[in-house]
Amino acid sequence: MRAPGCLMKLILIGLIASGAGPALAREQRPAIEGEALTDELRDFIAGQVQKREAPASALAARRQAREAGRVAREALNARGYFAPRIETAVLEGPPLRPVLRIDPGRRFTIARIDLSWQGDAPDEDTARRARDAIPVEPGDAAIPERVLKARAAISQLLQERSHAFANVQGQEVVGDREAGTLDVTYLVEAGPRVAFGEVRYPDTTRTRRSYLEKLVPFHSGESYTPGKLAELNSRLSRTRLFRVARASLESEASGRTGDGPEIHDVRLELEDRPRNTIALGASFATDRGAGFDALYTRRNLIGAGDFLTAKLTVAQLERIFDLEWNRPNRFGYGRAMVWRARLDQEETDAFDRRSVELGGYLENTRNPRFTYSLGADVAVVRETARLDLRSDRAEERDLQLVTFRGGAQLDRADSALDPREGWRADLSVEPTVGFGEARSQFIRSTAQLRAYLPVDDDKRTVLAGRVRLGTAFGAQIADLPTDRRFFAGGGGSVRGYGYQAIGPRTPDGTPLGGRSLAEVSGEVRHMIRDKVELVAFLDAGTVTEDETFGFENVRPGAGIGARYHTTAGPIRVDIGVPLDKSRFDDPFQVYLSIGQSF
């Protein structure tokens, strides 16, 4: 009977020994002691000193202490303590532990800041501004990082004052240990003032020189600023015409202006992208079936930075062919001319429609964040649809429409494909005159606001919201063409409901559409991995036959989704359920497409 007891004792001793081993070998930091150390400074030093395994010998412990002392000295220097006293020791164990006894000494401050001009000094005003640009003042703590950053501030100021080749060669630092101060003198070569000369265009690009000239934001003889050169580089990049696009100032002067600045030409390096691009896409939704897209783009069709785009969409409910010719900067930088043609055939529960449209519009991009457009188009339409709530059968009619279009977009979001912060606002107004078998005059307008709010600093969790309002006034519902009526429901509207399922219906349940629309959506987006995101959403919407918004019959839907992020945008899968299900609604809907829902 004693044997089992002895065996249990041996097992316990073995377990204790096996647990003691890792405890002795666990990682630790040196102890940091010093009455003059503040808690903040002690924590900062501790954060810089790496953890290491407990030393196996006194010699190893002393070695760790010396290494930790070196790191602590560098950490104190970075905070402006340039004359610390650091002693190292070893606490007897087990385990052995290195010890740092630190007296940081006084914190050095800046006593004097000065500039020493190497070569010709700039004019008095520029010299004064360069001195004022230094973000360090006498009396400030002598933080090395701030002293070094001041060099960039001096260079930037001089370049903005047209000294394109300004260079801070270094700094001289003289310390006074007794006073605990530093005198800093920056050695600055201002170089000559510079004016822009001619822009030298390469012969290797297919883009016309007359188009490239519209991208240049400065004139020959204008004083150099780095912002103007950066803007030229940005404009070249935004054309999407070039694989390589770089504008740089020639190092050699080509002359001198009358008031003194040297003239330096600007050289462009351009390498064209391939002229042709083909893209394919697909989508699926339980309410609309499968759809396929093919997109062909021809860059620089006539060498004027233009784009010819042809898009073919083939889906269960629609067949569309779009042709668009975009002439960017046609009437000066940021003012484009766009021509478009469209063939459209739709067969939905609400209507059957065939149309041919031709039109064009002027697009003015005031800056990358704000765009507005004005245009017009004509359309020839044949449609079969219910005309009003009393209709017991669909009627066929031929229409001719002339539409004037005005729109504006304000974009303050941080990404075009996957916004995580900011907001976007869109407004469109479309006065239309209808001829043919339904004469009408009406104005259709829509407004939409989308907002994105990150919950955490790394933007892995985002709250996203959307509000969309629309109204068509000036004509009765029977006189409105079917594509100018409002419908709600579907993957880009209120999820959980079928396509065009929300709104007035005729006695047999056929969707009629309406003259006003209100939609609201909310999403919680959370990245669970680098490329995988989960989404929970709540949508709601209503469509009424009146011109004014009504909220009596709001239909909500909710669900969950997933996103897989790619370079072309997120692949989206959503599953939605109707929260106010009618006899026309399915229990759930599934949507698969590319891009965020809004």
> What is d(CA 117, CA 477) in angstroms, rounded to the nearest whole number?
78
Task: State how far the alpha carbon of 366 is from the alpha carbons of 334, 425, 520, in Å.
Answer: 6, 15, 29
Per-residue pLDDT of the chain (598 residues; tens, 9 = 90+): 344 443 333 333 333 333 333 333 467 888 899 888 888 998 999 888 888 888 888 898 899 899 999 999 999 999 999 999 999 998 887 788 889 999 999 999 999 999 999 988 999 999 999 999 999 999 999 999 999 999 999 999 999 999 999 999 999 999 998 899 999 999 999 999 999 999 999 998 999 999 999 999 999 999 999 999 999 999 999 999 999 999 999 999 998 866 689 999 999 999 999 999 999 988 888 888 899 999 999 999 999 999 999 999 999 899 999 999 999 999 999 999 999 999 999 999 899 999 999 999 999 997 889 999 999 999 999 999 988 888 778 899 999 999 999 999 999 999 988 999 999 999 999 999 999 888 899 999 999 999 999 999 999 999 999 999 999 999 999 999 999 999 999 999 999 999 999 999 988 889 999 999 999 999 999 999 989 999 999 999 999 999 888 777 899 999 999 999 998 889 999 999 999 999 999 999 999 998 899 9
Q: 3-class DSSP state for residue 133? A: coil
The structure tokens listed for 96 are 């052995």
| Res 10: pLDDT | 30
> What is d(CA 171, CA 403) in angstroms, rounded to the nearest whole number?
67
Total number of residues shown for the chain: 598
For residue 147, count other CB atoms closer than 10 A to its CB.
Answer: 21
CATH of domain 25-103: 3.10.20.310
The structure tokens listed for 359 are 């039109």
Q: Let me know if domain 276-594 sits in CATH 2.40.160.50.
A: yes
Q: For residue 17, give every residue at least 6 positions away whose Cβ sits within 8 Å of its Cβ, in sequence order, or none.
A: none
> What is d(CA 491, CA 287) in angstroms, rounded to the nearest whole number?
9
Type and span of the H or E element at 442: strand 440-454
Give me the residue spans of the domains in the chain.
25-103, 109-189, 194-272, 276-594
Domain 25-103 shares a fold with domain 194-272? yes
| Res 15: pLDDT | 31
Q: Which CATH class is domain 109-189?
A: alpha beta
Burial category of 148 from C-beta neighbours within 10 Å (exposed 0-12, middle 13-18, buried 19 and up): exposed
> What is d(CA 525, CA 344) in angstroms, rounded to the nearest whole number?
35
The structure tokens listed for 550 are 């009504």
pTM attached to this predicted model:
0.78
Q: Classify each residue of 226-241 as buried b or exposed e, where b means 16 or more C-beta atoms within 10 Å of its C-beta.
A: eebbebbeebbeebeb
| Res 26: pLDDT | 67
> What is d(CA 24, CA 26) in angstroms, rounded to the nearest whole number?
6
> What is d(CA 213, CA 333) in angstroms, rounded to the nearest whole number?
9
> What is d(CA 429, CA 373) in angstroms, rounded to the nearest whole number?
11
| CATH architecture of structural domain 194-272 | Roll (3.10)
> What is d(CA 509, CA 584) in angstroms, rounded to the nearest whole number?
8
Strands of the sheet with 167-176, listed across from one edge: 109-117, 181-189, 167-176
